Chains A and B, each alone.
Chain A
Amino acid sequence: DQQVKQNSPSLSVQEGRISILNCDYTNSMFDYFLWYKKYPAEGPTFLISISSIKDKNEDGRFTVFLNKSAKHLSLHIVPSQPGDSAVYFCAAIGYNTDKLIFGTGTRLQVFP
């Protein structure tokens, strides 16, 4: 039972354009959401997070949007750069737990 879903296994975007990565979840008790980026042969690296009491969080080129009623969040990268090419994982934390529930990831490729 996949509680966090990333339905697009891959995404290809031209350099300079916006990349939008999507994530859906099923558990309304999730309290906090995070995005991680993973390069080959490296561990996931924390990118940005958002609390369930907010609907937007921005950090430089990265913005995460949360729509609680739709149980949907998205990561916007603008402008996209070739160095952004990686696998992006969406993850969620339940209320009063220390455990991350990951999605299956979306492979982003940014081409020149």
Chain B
Amino acid sequence: DAMVIQNPRYQVTQFGKPVTLSCSQTLNHNVMYWYQQKSSQAPKLLFHYYDKDFNNEADTPDNFQSRRPNTSFCFLDIRSPGLGDAAMYLCATSGGGNQPQHFGDGTRLSIL
């Protein structure tokens, strides 16, 4: 049973056209994370929510934003995607602290 679900699995958008990626969880975890992963690189944390508290990483570009309307859902909004934003975007959840993070299967974003 999928516990962290990301939609869509593949997304193609045009340069500069806003795009939203979604993530939902059935684990009732407090913490939700968004990562960006480019080929052969480590997943890079963009931001995370502890409940409704939003924590942005210092080097996350300004055109990346996030919303968490409730415990189960979290969205990644890219306001004006550039070619350098083409990547795999991973959503994860955890109960916080040292508890392992559970990942979705990711959304691969392509920019035309």
Residues of A within 8 A of B (CB): 2, 4, 9, 31-32, 34, 36, 41-46, 49, 51, 89, 93, 98-100, 102-105
Contacts and interface: CB of A to CB of B under 8 A. Distances in A.
Contacts of B100: 34, 46, 49
B66 to A, nearest CB: 15
Interface in B85-112: 90, 92, 94, 96-98, 100-106
Interface residues of B, number: 24
B106 A43 contact: yes
Nearest to A87: B40
Contacts of B33: 100
Interface of B: 4, 6, 31, 33, 40-43, 45, 48, 50, 90, 92, 94, 96-98, 100-106
Contacts of A89: 42-43
Contact of A44 (B43, B48, B97): B43
A65 to B, nearest CB: 18
**Interface core residue of B31, B43, B103 (most chain A CB under 10 Å):** B43
Given A31-B98, A49-B100, A43 B45 contact: no
Nearest to B99: A98
Contacts of B90: 43-44
Nearest to A107: B40
Contact of B98 (A4, A51, A103, A105): A51
A2 B4 CA distance: 28
